[in-house]
Amino acid sequence: MPAIELRAVRKRFTQPRPLSAILRHPLRFERIQVLDGVDLSVPRGSLTGLLGPNGAGKTTLLRILAGSISPDAGELSLLGIDALRHPRRALGKLGVVLGDERSFFWRLTAEQNLQFFAALHDLHGKAAKQRIRELAQRFGLEGELGKAFRNLSTGWRHRLALARALLHDPEVLLMDEPTSGLDPGAAERACGFIAEQLVAKMGKTVLLATHKLDEARQICDRLALLARGHILYQGSASEALARTSELYADRAEEPA
């Protein structure tokens, strides 16, 4: 049984229009097809990269998996759980690392942030403290726990986001551009950490959305190429990398 399985997932968004356009044509809606029948299978214990250019639909796909966007059609299974019918159960098995570092409470310390999010996963009291200590040790965060989130560097914030996603010890992790905002050295260390700690040592399944080819090449054992709403290829990283030119085939006229 794969860790994540998507079948024929479709998603179309209605484009916001200026008031003048709404007044001229109130019933004309402009829609864009972001995902058009996506089939994706992520094996357990793999580090799968979801590679695609900006706007390919990677974040939408992750948000559908995380339950914050409903698909128009399709099936979604997470460790055998129908994620559309039982979203809460599915979320209990899933850790989400958001690319957005604003997703913490800036006036609280790192530890207070983790305690709060632990409670949302039904981890309280001693059990929560123990889990936070374990994760802090693993992520080298011990010295940072007492600091206000606003005083942490971007690198530490990224680690804290990883620790938060692992509070409830999920089997599957979704990561959206996990190295965005990091300098090249920090990004390389973060990538190494994901591959060595999360996947090799802890045995997690990771689905990582990125538009960075180097990052995907460096750590992913499998790749899924997403463009124009379709998965163009999914399988071994080496074969996928030979086909990456297809990802950018229709983007020559876009602004740099």
Q: How many CA atoms, within 13 angstroms, populate the side-chain half-sphere of residue 233?
A: 16
The residue within the footprint of other proteins, chosen from 1, 14, 23, 253 (CB under 8 A), is 14
> Which CA distances in Å does 232 have to 64, 65, 174, 243?
19, 19, 20, 9
Query: Considering the rule CB under 8 A, would residue 70 count as an interface residue with other proteins?
Result: yes
The residue within the footprint of other proteins, chosen from 41, 60, 179, 205 (CB under 8 A), is 60
Distance CA(254)–CA(111), nearest Å, equals 44
Query: Considering the rule CB under 8 A, would residue 73 count as an interface residue with other proteins?
Result: no
Using alpha carbons, select from 113, 35, 27, 21 the residue that is nearest to residue 73. 35
- Min dist CB 116 to other proteins, Å, is 5
Query: Considering the rule CB under 8 A, would residue 205 count as an interface residue with other proteins?
Result: no
Distance CA(226)–CA(66), nearest Å, equals 18
Q: Which stretch binds other proteins (CB under 8 A): 19-27, 85-93, 179-187, 195-203?
A: 85-93
- Min dist CB 252 to other proteins, Å, is 28
Site string for other proteins, 86-125 (x = CB under 8 A): --xx-xx-x-x-x-x-xxxxxxx---x--xxx-xxxx-xx
Strand partners, 172: 94, 205
Phi and psi dihedrals of 122, rounded to 5?
A: 65, 30
Q: Which residue ranges make up the site for other proteins (CB under 8 A)?
A: 11, 13-14, 60, 63, 66-70, 72, 88-89, 91-92, 94, 96, 98, 100, 102-108, 112, 115-117, 119-122, 124-125, 164
